[in-house]
Amino acid sequence: MSLRLGDTAPDFEAETTEGTINFHDWIGDGWAVLFSHPADFTPVCTTELGETAKLKEQFAKRNCKVIAVSVDSVEDHKAWVGDIDETQGCAVNFPIIGDTDRHVSETYDMLHPGEGDTSTVRSVFVIDANKKIRMTLTYPKSAGRNFDEILRVIDSIQLTDGYKVATPVNWKDGEDVIIVPSLSDEEAKEHFPDGWKTLKPYLRVTKQPNR
């Protein structure tokens, strides 16, 4: 059965490039991004892991760890990271799970039927501090992911968890947000004393409240 938003992220124990981990213990009291890449020593994956390493401080600002997984072995991962450092200009600074028995990949439904092999597609799971799945993305093997988008969604979720707002199309941190329709105007006055602009009764735009 496929995992859905709001489900508890399945726990597992695995060998990684940074030693054995229990996933929930490794997450701790923060957030996590678990993402799969099809295979080591492949071009698109090399660029993706390099970019993720460069964004380590950005993820840390959001109290978020990152961890990668593929069906290759830990030994292969360790051999590959030198190529990532050489070609992308950044050393891998997060663990990569060795999943040769496909336990993690199958648990998280990362294997794509009909692709002609057993490698994972490009799946992403954003997991909050309560170990709940808050966002999922799945890209085909041929398309590299946009990790800035993953950070943007984390910003949105963390903001909307704390305030009665939603974020509009293409929103970025610091831009105006939308007051949730379930909040009456009278209630909104308590939450947004600086006011808002009403475009429609259901579309009220206000400044980002934590700015």
Dist. CA 153–CA 173, nearest whole Å: 10
* Residue 207: closest CA among 187, 179, 182, 185: 179
Q: Indicate if 45 belongs to the active site.
A: yes
State both tokens at 28: 């701790």
Tell me the angle at which helices 147-162 and 43-54 cross, rounded to the nearest 10 degrees: 40
Dist. CA 160–CA 162, nearest whole Å: 5
- Alpha carbons within 13 A on the beta-carbon side of 7: 13
Q: Are 142 and 123 in contact (CB under 8 A)?
A: no
Q: Are 55 and 112 in contact (CB under 8 A)?
A: no
Check 9, 45, 74, 165 and give the catalytic one: 45
Q: Which residues are catalytic?
A: 45
